[in-house]
Structures are given as structure tokens and as C-alpha cells.
Amino acid sequence: MATTARKPRRTPSKAAAAKRKLIYTFSEGNATMRALLGGKGAGLAEMTNAGLPVPPGFTITTEACNAYYEAGKQLPDGLWDDVVGHMKGVEKETGKGFGNPENPLLVSVRSGAAFSMPGMMDTVLNLGLNPETVQGLIRLTGNERFAWDAWRRFVAMFGRIVLDLKAEDFDEPFDELKKHAKAKLDTDLTAEQLREIGEQFAQIVKKKTGEEFPTDPYRQLELAVRAVFDSWFGKRAHDYREFNKIPHDLGTAVNIVTMVFGNMGEDSGTGVAFTRDPNTGEKVLYGEYLTNAQGEDVVAGVRTPAKISQMRDEMPEVYAQFEEIAQRLERHYRDMQDLEFTIEGGKLYMLQTRSGKRTAPAAVKIAVDMAGEKLITRDEAIQRVDPAQIVQLLLPRFDEAAKATVGDRLLGKGLNASPGAAVGQAVFDPDRAVAAKEADNPVILVRIETSPDDVHGMLAAKGVLTARGGATSHAAVVARSMGLPCVAGAESLKIDYAKREMRAGSVTVKEGDVISIDGTTGEIFAGELSTIEARFEDEHDLATLLGWADKVRRLQVWANADYPRDAERARAFGAQGIGLCRTEHMFFEEDRLPTVRRMILNAHAATAAKHKDAKERSADERESVKVFDSALAELEKLQADDFAGLFRAMDGLPVVIRLIDPPLHEFLPSHEELIADVTRLRTTLELAGDGSLGVDAGLVQQGLVKLFGTKDAARAMRKIGLSKPEPGLSVQAFDRAALERELAEKEELLHAVEAMREQNPMLGLRGVRLGLMVPDIVKMQGRAILAGAARVAAEGKTPLPEIMIPLVGHVNELRETRDILEAEVARIVETSGQQVTYRFGTMIEVPRGALTADEIAEHAGFFSFGTNDLTQMAFGYSRDDAEGKFLMQYVDRKILPENPFQVLDVAGIGQLVRIAVEKGRATKPDLKIGICGEHGGDPQSIAFCHEVGLNYVSCSPFRVPVARLAAAQAALSTTETRDK
Ligand code: ADP
Ligand code: MG
Ligand code: MG
């Protein structure tokens, strides 16, 4: 390189900025210029260059909009002259004159950003009209009615959109006139009536703004262009960008388009159409049109439009031409298009084309069909569908036809927190939801909000409805993870737990009344709405698309499943293994809980006793050991059955079973609850005395009410058999002994809970630590796993158990646990006489574990990232506290870009993952590594897992198809970047 000093490069001067091209005629632009011309402008340019009939016009660039803001809302230097110059060009092309009464040119002024965006300025049509040009229009067309219709529309539109008047300012007098004239529709009004109303509108503008309605066409144009620019920072547009994370410096373009008139008579019209059905994806022209109408009329519902197919009969030639253009545009853009058109005196004009929005089923069908038609490649088809949308295809949904007839049964609307439709009896309590399920009644669990205490009720429910909380509230997060429809934060509902009812306006829903909730839309209905069950086997297009995805992806997709029925479902969805079975869920089952508690209450004592020589143990110690061992033996049998079921369902595929993870006291009643119980029992006993002289029930009741309130007092009174206290002494039955026994039991539980209580259970005695302190529990689990596997092997199937040890932070924890387990497990395999292969592996979920993964890998047959705990511990957040207290605010205030429990934090947690992968594979190059945290089902996080070279992601069964597609997209996007 030469070393001569160069002059510092000057930043572009004002003059240079002014020289930048700020206006493009439609023939100068093209589809790739979206950022500069906005979506609408780029589309008009592309259509013009393709030779389609587009009225002449031009686009003022988004850069001009940004320059306008930089200059403090001043049109950039030279822009106006440039606009005028381009208007001359349009005059020449059309042979008309802007403001020329002989042959007036009229235009529309349309905003258009790179992304279509609600909140931007509405389009102004018929700009350039004034009392003189209206006369010209009448002379030229000989259609007085049309001219006055155009005029009154223009004055109202300009008044509302550019001059900020209210729609009612014009709508009210207009309706008044219609009523007066006994006209049902706009089209019933006469030319004279329309002229009058136009005149009246101009007066309204004068009255409201204090100025004459602007009649100079160029003045009109300037005001309209400025209004478009101003709308970019209007509140609605600003909020929309905030919400959708669209940058504020993109700016909007302004399109100026020669007017064509759909309101010139019955051989004119206007319409909107999609090149395929946006609901089903079917390959048919889909849309609506209106004859003798202009612009917004179709959407605004002034008259009911006709189906586009009707145009085939009414205007066969135009229809044929439009159909041909629609197909051409679809082929050209290689995507389904959403089109706007106008017919003026039998001649067709195209006014807009853009990729059409579509439902999930349509997205899948269109992608698969287009690949079949060779319009796009299979790889493109894979990339066309948003993985998140797929979930919708797998959930039952309401029949739209049924929805259309509900009328006032719509109770309200909340957040569409977890998609799908659910119907059931409203139940306001989780225990009663479980009871109802057992009685085979489908229920919707309705809560003000949910917490971990409600999960059993959620599991029993068909859907969840809450009055409070957002898209990341407990209800929403848990429901999504369970594939359960959920409507959250329906704040208009007044839920009353005590009365077991909720009120929605004037309607009261009692517990047991049937309601329907739509988690896809957030709607809540009284009564039952019929649903259509989604059947994966019947989703042929989805199966085709996922089949293509499977060929492309490198990541395997496994599922998290605790029960055989979940495993079966996961397998049907294409899961290639079980990445996480949480054994403790099996402990929580009601009929097992007493056994589990016996085991826990004796765990520590028995373990200590077992360190002593059997002869030296005290009677108490011997009893502890006996009870503990017998409880374990019972659990071992049950768990062996559980595991056998899983192995059967996953015949030939790996099943990762995690050994017990939570702290033991999670299986016991809460400390607070026990304290309350013990206090109540003690006080009751004290107040009641020994009952030998009779009990003054009235006094007892008074005492209890004072201490515990009416409700709890009533409960205590029932317990001692004094539910109907009569004044004076009573010698009613009073079973003091029973009460004392209960107290003793509760006190024992309380002591145990107190002994096990931890300041910070999340960081306490759990996971591998617990296994090392009470090895018998994990030994039992190890034996049960292998016994279950041996049994299934004996049936001729191929179980592939993988035993996973949670929460390892130091290599010695893993080594020692492994030593303990290996001997146990080997013994079972040997005595079974079956050939069973198994592995030991570990979760990487403690930051230190990730950092020392090279050491840990020495003793691990596989790694699985538990990214929930890894996120908790590396951020120093406890998830339950964080999500309830500050995390959502963090996301709102952009302190964090995303909830890190939903989308893996690549910058931080991602580094730990990367380090662990590198170090682990440095020790064992072919170490199998997966992820089993909730992130395994999130497309963005899956892309990261692909990039760092994991072998698989594991997610909830319902997300398996989502993950298959996301994994393929990740594979395709990395090849793309590599090829570039
Ligand atoms: P939006 O983005 O809300 O669709 P548009 O700018 O596309 O707004 O216009 C609104 C309506 O006006 C559409 O129906 C469109 O077809 C119609 N329209 C826009 N410009 C013209 C024009 N020059 N001639 C006739 N109709 C027009
Ligand atoms: Mg439009
Ligand atoms: Mg964990």
C-alpha cells in the first residue's frame, strides 16, 4: 500500500445529500429496492417493468423522509422542485394536466414503508380536485354523478387524513343526508345530492380549521406529502414499531399514482384478491370486488362485495386478463400474492402486489404445492414456513362456522397465550379440576392467575383461563409446554373463588357450566363450540414438508416425556429418542405419595444408621432402616414398571432417564401449611380441655374464631365433632385421642420439614448432591431402570437406557455417583441374563460443570444441557421469582432483549454451552451432546444448537415437528452463509 497521507474523507455535504436521487418513477425502480421505495413502491415499479397495466406515477424515497426529519420537518433541498418536475412527467405520459380544468390529472397519495405497517397515513384519493377541475371531469366524462361523488370523497378524505378532522365530522352529515333522501346505499344518491354534500363538507373544513379548503392542487399535494412523512412518527406507527422491534430510522416512502376510477359506472369496479386461498392454501383465485366503487369501499364494508369468481360472469374479458396477471405475478415473485386492482370503463389497472399473509395450514400447503409445481425448491419450501406456526396444525381447533353463529355467547377476550381450542366445565380450583377429570368430566381450569401449586389442576384440564398475567405468565408458559390451550389475562372477567363463579359483564358462569376457550385467538365463549380434531397422520402436506426437512437437518430431535403415552405421541411426531424423563413426576402421583413420604421421613436417619454396624443400631434406628427399605422396595417395583413402559414405547430408540432432581422436601407439605395445622390442632385441644366435664362448645368456637377466623374455626369445630354448638355445656362425642394422634403426625412431619428446610432450595441438597448423601435412592432408581430394561429385552425388544445424573458441578461428584451406581446396575443386568446396553451421562447445568467439561467428560458417556438451571445459575436469577417480579419489566424496558428462559441467551449462556462442547469433545471427540431444557423447542435456540454442533435437541412432544423444521432451517441457513 502506498503510504502517502490521504486527505480525510469528508462526510457527505448538504449539497451531496441534495444531489442524492430522492424520487424514482415507477419505471426506474424494481422489487429489490424495498428499503428505498417501500414495499408498495417497489411492487408498483416491478409491475410497471413487467409490462403490467399500472397507472403512471413515482415514489419519493424513504431517504427523503429521513432527511425531512433530520432537517426538523423541512422538505429536503430540491425535493419540491423534483416533485413538480415529476408531476410534469406524469402529465406528459397521461396527456392530462394537474389542475387543468380542460383535462384534469388526479392522483392518489399513498404511504408505504418497507414493512406494511398499521398506523401509517391512509391513502388520499382524487387529489387535484377543486371546483374548476370537477367541472372539467363532468365535461370529459359526461358523468355528473361520478364527478361529484369523487369530489365529496376527496374533501372528506383530505379533511380527515391530511387536516386531522374526525371521520364523524363527515359521516354524520352524510348519513343525515342519506336518511333524508331515503337512500340506503351511497349509489342511491343523485348527482345533485352529492354536489350538495361536497359543498357542505368544504364548509365543515372551513369551520373546523378556520381556513378555506385548499383548492390549489400543488398545495394539496404538498400538504399530503408532509402528512405521510409526519405519520411515520405518529403514535400508532411508533408503538407498532416498538412492539415489533422494527427500527425507527427506516422511514416511509410516498407514492404518487395517477387516479383510475372504479366508480365510473357498472363497467367499472375495484377489488382485492389473493392468488391462492389464504385460509386453506388451495390454488384458486380468492377475493372480492365491487362494481361502481372506489378504493377502500371493498374493505370498509359500505356495500357487501361480491366473490371474485362472479367477475368471471360479469366481466369475462377483464377477469381472464386479471387471472393471467395474477398467475404471472405469483410466478414472478414465486410466492402467493395479495393484489389490488381497479377497473375503469372496462380497462384493468393493477394498484398493488405483495406477499399475502396466510394461516398455518395455508402456509404449509402453499409451500409444498409450490415445490411440487417447481415454482420453488424443496429447500425454499422448508424456509417458507414459520416453525412456530406448526403447533397450530396439531391442536384441535374450533370450527369457524360454529364461531360465526355464537352471537352474545362471546364472554370476552384475553391474550392468545397458547394455541388450540378447549371445551369443558369451568372449575376454579386445581383439586376440584383433578376430581372432575377422574369423574371423566372435561374441565377448563379458571384461575385469577396460576402458580406451581396449580400444575396438577392444569394437567387435569383441557385448557386454562386466567384473568391476570401475560404471554410469559406461569399459566402461559406451562400451558405452552404442555401443549394445552390457554387464554391468559382476560381482565374483564371477575373471578370469585369463594362463590365459585366468574362474571363477564352481565353473564355469570358458575362452576360446572361449560365454556369454550380459543387459545389461538384469545376468545372465551359460554357453552360448547364444536371443534375439529387435528390428526397428525392426516396432515399430509405437513408430513411431506417435514420429510423434506428430515433429509436436510443434521440435528436429531428427541422429546421430553415422563410417561409412556407422551413417549408414544412424541414418537408419532417423529421423535428419535427421549432426551429427558423426569422420574420425580412419578413420585408425585397421589397413590405413591404416602410411600414416597415414608421413604423421605426416614431417609436421613436410616442412611446414618446404615453406617453403623447392624448390632450397634438402636431400636429406633432399626425401625427407620426397616421402614425406609420397605418404602424403597415398593417404589422400586413401581419405577421398574414405569421405565419398562417407556422402553416399550421407544423400542430401539434411546431413553434418557434423569435420576431424582428436586430437594426431598418438595414431596412434603409446605412448612407454612404444617405450622398452621399444628397450631390449630394444639389450640383446639387446649380450648376443649379433656371433655370429661363436658365441653362448652360456644366458648370453644368463640376462641377459635378469634384466633383463626370463621372459616378455619368451623373446620376445627367439625373435626372435634362440635359443628353445631349449642349454648351451655355439652357432652357430645369428642375424640381427643384421634386429635392427639393427628397432632403427633403433623408434628413429626413438621420436624422433618424443619430439618430439611433450606434457605435456597434451588441451590441446596438436590440432584447429584442428594444422591451422594442418600445413595440408596439413586441405587434404587438405577436398579429399577435396568430391571425395566431387562424385562423389555426379554420381550424381544431393544431398550436403550441412558442414565443421567443431574446438577454435576465437580468431576468428583460424577465419579463417585457413577461408582456407586455401576456396581448396582451391573448386578441387575447379570442376574437378568439379558443383553442390555446402557450408558451413564450427566447434565451440564451448573456453570462450573460447563467450565470443567473436559474433566467431567472423562466419566460421562453423554452430556445434556439443562439450560433452565444453567440460565438460572449463570444469570443468578431464580426463575419463579424473576418471572413474577422483574423479568417481564426487563424485557419491556429492553434491559434484556428477550426472556432468557424462553430464548437461549447466546451471548452469555451460549458461551458456557460452547465451552462445554469444545472441552467435552477435546476429551471425547465423539461425545454425544444434547439439550433438554425448554429451549430445545425454540426455533431461535435450535439454530444456535445446530451451530455449536450438538447432536440433538429434546423438547416437549408437541414441539417435535416444530423442532424438525427449525433444525432443517438452521442447516439451510448455515449452508447459505457458507456458500456466500
Ligand atoms: P393500503 O395500504 O391501506 O391498502 P393503498 O394505498 O393501497 O392503501 O390504497 C387504498 C385503496 O385505494 C386501495 O383499494 C387502492 O387500490 C386504492 N387506490 C390507491 N391508489 C389508487 C389510484 N391511483 N387509483 C385508484 N385507486 C387507488
Ligand atoms: Mg393497498
Ligand atoms: Mg435442572
**Nearest bound ligand to CA 580?**
3
**Nearest bound ligand to CA 842?**
3
**Nearest bound ligand to CA 763?**
3
Q: In ligand 1, which atom is closest to the CA atom of 351?
A: 16
Kindly report the protein residue whose alpha carbon is nearest to atom 13 of ligand 1.
295
- Please provide residue 115's backbone torsions phi and psi, each rounded to the nearest 5 degrees: -110, 140
665: Cβ below 6 Å to ligand 1?
no
Q: For residue 727, how far is its CA from the centre of ligand 2 (angstroms)? A: 81
Q: Is 221 exposed, middle or buried (0-12, 13-18, 19+ CB in 10 A)?
A: buried
Judged against a pLDDT cut of 60, whether residue 15 lies above it is answered with no
Q: For residue 208, how far is its CA from the centre of ligand 2 (angstroms)? A: 29
Judged against a pLDDT cut of 90, whether residue 727 lies above it is answered with no
Quick one: CA dihedral 517, 523, 526, 528, positive or negative?
Answer: negative
Q: Which three cell numbers stand for residue 318?
A: 377483464
Q: In ligand 1, which atom is closest to the CA atom of 262?
A: 25
The per-residue pLDDT for 723 is: 65
Closest CA to 381 of 575, 537, 541: 541
Q: For residue 806, how far is its CA from the centre of ligand 3 (angstroms)? A: 6
pLDDT tens track for 916-933: 999 999 999 999 999 998
742: Cβ below 6 Å to ligand 1?
no
- Please provide residue 712's backbone torsions phi and psi, each rounded to the nearest 5 degrees: -65, -35
268: Cβ below 6 Å to ligand 1?
no
The per-residue pLDDT for 302 is: 60
Residue 782 and residue 821 in contact, taking contact as beta carbons nearer than 8 Å: yes
Eight-class DSSP state of 167? H
255: Cβ below 6 Å to ligand 1?
no
Closest CA to 805 of 531, 552, 583: 583
Q: For residue 276, how far is its CA from the centre of ligand 2 (angstroms)? A: 18
Q: If DSSP states are collapsed to H, E and C, what string results for 732-762?
A: CCCCHHHHHHHHHHHHHHHHHHHHHCCCCHH
- Please provide residue 441's backbone torsions phi and psi, each rounded to the nearest 5 degrees: -100, 120
198: Cβ below 6 Å to ligand 1?
no
pLDDT tens track for 364-400: 999 999 999 999 999 999 999 999 888 878 877 888 7
**Count of alpha carbons within 13 angstroms of residue 843, beta-carbon side:** 27
Which residues 6+ apart lie within 8 Å of 800 measured at CB? 577, 647, 650, 652, 653, 654, 655, 837, 838
Spatial separation of the C-alpha atoms in residues 418 and 520, rounded to whole Å = 7
Closest CA to 493 of 451, 453, 447: 447
Q: Residues for the chain: how many in total?
A: 980
Minimum mean pLDDT among 138-152, 446-460, 836-850: which range?
Answer: 446-460
Q: For residue 567, how far is its CA from the centre of ligand 3 (angstroms)? A: 20
Q: In ligand 1, which atom is closest to the CA atom of 55?
A: 23
Residue 254 and residue 110 in contact, taking contact as beta carbons nearer than 8 Å: yes
Kindly report the protein residue whose alpha carbon is nearest to atom 20 of ligand 1.
108
Q: For residue 942, how far is its CA from the centre of ligand 2 (angstroms)? A: 36
Phi-psi region of 668 (alpha: psi -120 to 50; beta: other; left: phi over 0): beta
Range from 489-498, 540-549, 693-702 that averages highest in pLDDT: 540-549
Range from 65-69, 668-672, 729-733 that averages highest in pLDDT: 65-69
Instruction: Give the residue, out of 59, 106, 109, 125, with the most ligand 1 atoms within 8 A of its beta carbon, to mutate for a pocket test.
Output: 125
Please report where in the chains the cell 397450530 appears, as a residue.
392
Judged against a pLDDT cut of 60, whether residue 291 lies above it is answered with yes
Closest CA to 218 of 44, 40, 41, 97: 97
Q: By three-state DSSP, how is residue 398 classified?
A: strand
Q: For residue 346, how far is its CA from the centre of ligand 2 (angstroms)? A: 21
The per-residue pLDDT for 980 is: 37
Spatial separation of the C-alpha atoms in residues 780 and 434, rounded to whole Å = 30
Judged against a pLDDT cut of 80, whether residue 832 lies above it is answered with yes
Spatial separation of the C-alpha atoms in residues 241 and 850, rounded to whole Å = 38
Q: Do strands 57-60 and 252-258 pair parallel, antiparallel, or not at all (unpaired)?
A: antiparallel
Bridge partners of residue 657, in order along the sequence:
581, 803
125: Cβ below 6 Å to ligand 1?
yes
Judged against a pLDDT cut of 50, whether residue 10 lies above it is answered with no
- Please provide residue 79's backbone torsions phi and psi, each rounded to the nearest 5 degrees: -60, -45
Q: By three-state DSSP, how is residue 931 classified?
A: strand
Q: Which three cell numbers stand for residue 766?
A: 438436590
Closest CA to 932 of 959, 961, 966: 959
**What letter represents residue 825's amino acid?**
V
**What percent of the chain clears pLDDT 70, i.e. is strictly above it?**
94
Secondary structure E strands in 80-152 = 97-98, 104-105, 107-113, 124-127
Q: In ligand 1, which atom is closest to the CA atom of 272?
A: 14
Secondary structure E strands in 910-972 = 928-931, 952-955
For 513-538, what is the mean pLDDT? 89
Quick one: CA dihedral 787, 792, 798, 801, positive or negative?
Answer: negative
Spatial separation of the C-alpha atoms in residues 457 and 439, rounded to whole Å = 14
Residue 576 and residue 653 in contact, taking contact as beta carbons nearer than 8 Å: yes
28: Cβ below 6 Å to ligand 1?
no
296: Cβ below 6 Å to ligand 1?
yes
Secondary structure E strands in 659-813 = 695-696, 729-730, 800-805
123: Cβ below 6 Å to ligand 1?
yes
The per-residue pLDDT for 719 is: 73
Eight-class DSSP state of 904? -
Kindly report the protein residue whose alpha carbon is nearest to atom 15 of ligand 1.
295
Average pLDDT value over all residues in the chain: 90
Q: For residue 584, how far is its CA from the centre of ligand 3 (angstroms)? A: 12
352: Cβ below 6 Å to ligand 1?
yes
260: Cβ below 6 Å to ligand 1?
yes
Minimum mean pLDDT among 371-375, 394-398, 444-448, 974-978: which range?
Answer: 974-978
User: Residue 852, Cβ neighbours under 10 Å: how many?
Assistant: 19
Catalytic option among 456, 474, 604, 935: 474
Judged against a pLDDT cut of 60, whether residue 637 lies above it is answered with yes
Residue 484 and residue 464 in contact, taking contact as beta carbons nearer than 8 Å: yes
For 855-859, what is the mean pLDDT? 98
**Nearest bound ligand to CA 295?**
1
For 124-135, what is the mean pLDDT? 94
Which residues 6+ apart lie within 8 Å of 517 measured at CB? 421, 422, 444, 463, 465, 485, 486, 487, 523, 524, 525
**Nearest bound ligand to CA 56?**
1
The per-residue pLDDT for 12 is: 45
161: Cβ below 6 Å to ligand 1?
no
Q: If DSSP states are collapsed to H, E and C, what string results for 548-588?
A: HHHHHCCCEEEEECCCHHHHHHHHHCCCCCEEEEECHHHHC
Residue 772 and residue 607 in contact, taking contact as beta carbons nearer than 8 Å: no
Catalytic option among 486, 581, 932, 945: 932
**What letter represents residue 81's amino acid?**
D
For 556-579, what is the mean pLDDT? 95
Q: Roughly how many angstroms between the first and final C-alpha of the chain, as a whole number?
A: 27
pLDDT tens track for 742-773: 999 999 889 989 988 998 988 999 999 999 99
For 143-159, what is the mean pLDDT? 93
Give ∠ CA 180-185-187 in degrees, rounded to 5.
105
520: Cβ below 6 Å to ligand 1?
no
Q: Which helix (H) or strand (E) holds 514?
A: strand 514-518
More confident residue, 372 or 700: 372
Spatial separation of the C-alpha atoms in residues 20 and 14, rounded to whole Å = 10
- The DSSP code sequence of 937-959 is G-HHHHHHHHHTT-SEEEE-GGG
Structure confidence at residue 521 as a pLDDT band (50, 70, 90): confident
Instruction: Give the residue, out of 120, 121, 123, with the most ligand 1 atoms within 8 A of its beta carbon, to mutate for a pocket test.
Output: 123
For 324-331, what is the mean pLDDT? 96
Q: Which helix (H) or strand (E) holds 339?
A: strand 337-344
pLDDT tens track for 703-713: 888 887 888 78
Closest CA to 450 of 467, 437, 438: 467
Q: For residue 300, how far is its CA from the centre of ligand 1 (angstroms)? A: 12
pLDDT tens track for 217-270: 999 999 999 999 999 988 878 877 876 778 899 999 999 999 999 988 889 999
791: Cβ below 6 Å to ligand 1?
no
Kindly report the protein residue whose alpha carbon is nearest to atom 27 of ligand 1.
295
Spatial separation of the C-alpha atoms in residues 219 and 642, rounded to whole Å = 80
The per-residue pLDDT for 8 is: 39
Q: For residue 921, how far is its CA from the centre of ligand 2 (angstroms)? A: 55
For 603-610, what is the mean pLDDT? 94
User: Residue 838, Cβ neighbours under 10 Å: how many?
Assistant: 20
The per-residue pLDDT for 481 is: 62
Secondary structure E strands in 205-275 = 252-258, 269-274
The per-residue pLDDT for 59 is: 98
Instruction: Give the residue, out of 87, 110, 264, 268, with the most ligand 1 atoms within 8 A of its beta carbon, to mutate for a pocket test.
Output: 110
342: Cβ below 6 Å to ligand 1?
yes
Q: Is 438 exposed, middle or buried (0-12, 13-18, 19+ CB in 10 A)?
A: exposed
Q: By three-state DSSP, how is residue 945 classified?
A: helix
The 10 Å CB-count burial string (b at 16+, else e) for 952-970 is bbbbbbbbbbbbbbbbbbb
Spatial separation of the C-alpha atoms in residues 598 and 578, rounded to whole Å = 30
Q: For residue 805, how far is its CA from the centre of ligand 3 (angstroms)? A: 10
Spatial separation of the C-alpha atoms in residues 808 and 819, rounded to whole Å = 15
Structure confidence at residue 7 as a pLDDT band (50, 70, 90): very low
351: Cβ below 6 Å to ligand 1?
yes
Q: In ligand 1, which atom is closest to the CA atom of 57?
A: 23
Q: Is 86 an active-site residue? A: no
The per-residue pLDDT for 693 is: 62
In Å, how far from its chain's centre is CA 16?
46
Eight-class DSSP state of 525? E
Q: Which helix (H) or strand (E) holds 621?
A: helix 619-649
Cα distances from 278 to residues 83, 350, 464, in angstroms, run: 38, 20, 29
Q: Do strands 347-355 and 695-696 pair parallel, antiparallel, or not at all (unpaired)?
A: unpaired
The per-residue pLDDT for 211 is: 93
Q: By three-state DSSP, how is residue 713 classified?
A: helix
Q: Is 474 an active-site residue? A: yes
Quick one: CA dihedral 770, 776, 781, 782, positive or negative?
Answer: positive
